[in-house]
Amino acid sequence: MDVQPLPIDGAKKVVPDAFRDDRGYFKEIFRSSVYARIGVPGPFVQDNVSVSRARVLRGLHGDMRMAKLVQVLRGKAFDVIADVRAGSPSYGRWTAVTLEAAGHAQIYIPAGCLHGFLALEDDTLLLYKQTAEYDPAHEIGIAWNDPDLAIEWPLAGSEPLLSAKDRANPTLRERGLL
């Protein structure tokens, strides 16, 4: 397993070993004892799957109680973490990792950080584990195009496909987080 720290405090890129042969491959995508040793604490209490067509942008979403472990099982996504934790050394910064099924990489998003992704291919299948159950009363939504974050989404001049909810998200300043 390869573990690399990301520029957001506590965030990590994790690449589990994949064992290949002429039949395909096998990989273990989570074992609590191994992930605890590499600094990915649990317990994870909810798993979610999202399927998106190309140019679908989901986010930015967060919950101060909830960490996530995210991976792409099919397709490719530009996956973003934005730090909105008051007092964090990386507060107000973002980082991104392109995740694709063939690369096997996962990202760990610490509690209190925002998460969003742009599907780069049709039928992109994203799996993510959460350390808290979803509760809309705790969810934080921030505009995907917040000028203070200035995320460089790979849209090549086209507009993303957004839900009505994500289209209405306020900026960090409007939410009082900056």
Q: What is the pTM of this model?
A: 0.94
Active site residue ranges: 61, 128
Tell the CATH topology of 2-175: Jelly Rolls (2.60.120)
pLDDT per residue as tens digits for the range 93-140: 999 999 999 999 999 999 999 999 999 999 999 999 999 999 999 999
Structural domain boundaries of the chain?
2-175
Q: What is the pLDDT of residues 141-155, one digit of tens each?
A: 999 999 999 999 999
Sheet containing strand 106-109, strands side by side: 2-5, 12-15, 106-109, 68-74, 124-130, 46-52
List all residues 6 or more positions away from 82 whose beta carbon is below 8 Å from its beta carbon: 8, 60, 62, 93, 94, 113, 114, 115, 116, 142, 149, 151
